[in-house]
Structure 1
Amino acid sequence: MMEKSLFKKIVYPALSATSTMTMFSYAVSYLVNDQFKEPKLLSSLFLSPGRQKANEPPVGGFLLHYLVGMIFATVYQLFWKHIFRFPKWKDGIIYGTVCGLIGMLTWKLTFTLHKSPPDIKLKSYLFHLLIAHLIFGVTLTWTERKLGRKS
């Protein structure tokens, strides 16, 4: 069984932040009528290129997306533990921006190198990704603050 402190320190904040970011992406996808859903894109790029049905839930894409969220939350936790005394809102904005830039670079590289990437408006998606990661960073900070941990 997972240790309670590990769940509280990493898993809970990662689930909160990744879920909030994903809901934002799904809402933007709906509003702009384009494919900005990270789990769906991850699934189509890496797990089942060309084989996934339109209405099939991208289970593997969700798992990949939450795994990456867990990694980003773990790195944030390490920074928080060693640098930040108590996470401030600006820390979340800065960390979200850094994660967003890493995400933009990674997605751009992935779309460039992939032999058959999904047909989306990539520049719009990359801009959306920066905002989505700002939401991720702020939600991560909010969760840390709600947990009330001090250094």
Structure 2
Amino acid sequence: MFNGIAMAFMAIFISGILGTTVMTGFSHIVELLTDHKFNEAHLLNEFINRSKKTTSKIGKNHYLGWFLHFMIGVCMAVFLYCYYFYMADNVLIWTGVFLGFILGIIGVTGWSIMISAHSNPPDIKWKLFFVQLIFAHMIFGVTITWVLAKFAFNLYV
């Protein structure tokens, strides 16, 4: 019993880390191709750095933005695992694309709230960021779905 639970937790954690890594890689490639800021962890650090609540200055690669980004990814992996475990009849890659799209909309909403609540948000092309963010989350959803299917549910997709 414990072994199955431990494997599920490990699959969720690894899927969240891997999904976030692949998603961030996609965002970084789009950033390089377009010369616009799209790296989520860097933007989180810029939000923190520009905050009135902090007096310390942090760089774009500070661990805090990366930690927050990856922990949000793991939390989203928990959501996908719960969906597949409790509600879905099958674990399909296309479901990962769709759920990634939904998570992208949630991500756009979260970033929009941060932008509107922040006194000095980063000055980037937010509409372009949001479009690539939705595609990045679709890749994220596929990655997590594949890892969960293989390692949490022992399926071949």
| TM-score interval, normalised by the smaller of the two chains | 0.7 to 0.9
Identity of aligned residues (%): 29
Residue in 1 that maps onto 2:114: 110
Query: In structure 1, what residue type is equivalent to 2:85?
Result: K
- In the alignment, structure 2 segments of 5+ residues that lack a partner are 52-56
Residue in 1 that maps onto 2:17: 15
Task: Check whether the contact 2:20–2:70 (CA below 8 A) recurs between aligned residues.
Answer: yes
**TM-score, length-scaled by structure 2:** 0.85
CA 58–26 in structure 1, closer or farther in 2 if over 3 Å, else same: farther
Residue in 1 that maps onto 2:62: 58
Inter-partner Cα distance in structure 2 for 1:136 and 1:117: 25
Query: In structure 2, what residue type is equivalent to 1:26?
Result: H
**TM-score, length-scaled by structure 1:** 0.88
Instruction: Say which SS state the counterpart of residue 120 (structure 1) adopts.
Output: coil
Output aligned runs, 1:37-52, within 5 Å.
Answer: 37-46=39-48, 48-49=49-50, 51-52=57-58
CA 85–8 in structure 1, closer or farther in 2 if over 3 Å, else same: farther
Tell me how far 1:145 sits from its aligned partner: 2.5
Q: Does residue 141 in structure 1 map to residue 155 in structure 2? A: no
Tell me how far 1:104 sits from its aligned partner: 0.6
Q: Deviations over 1:72-100 (max 9, x none)?
A: 00011111111124410121011101100
Instruction: Say which SS state the counterpart of residue 29 (structure 1) adopts.
Output: helix
Count of residue pairs brought into register by the alignment? 146
- In the alignment, structure 1 segments of 5+ residues that lack a partner are none
Instruction: Report the RMSD for the aligned CA atoms in angstroms.
Output: 1.9
Tell me how far 1:58 sits from its aligned partner: 2.6
Task: Check whether the contact 2:7–2:152 (CA below 8 A) recurs between aligned residues.
Answer: no
Inter-partner Cα distance in structure 1 for 2:154 and 2:7: 14
Residue in 1 that maps onto 2:93: 89
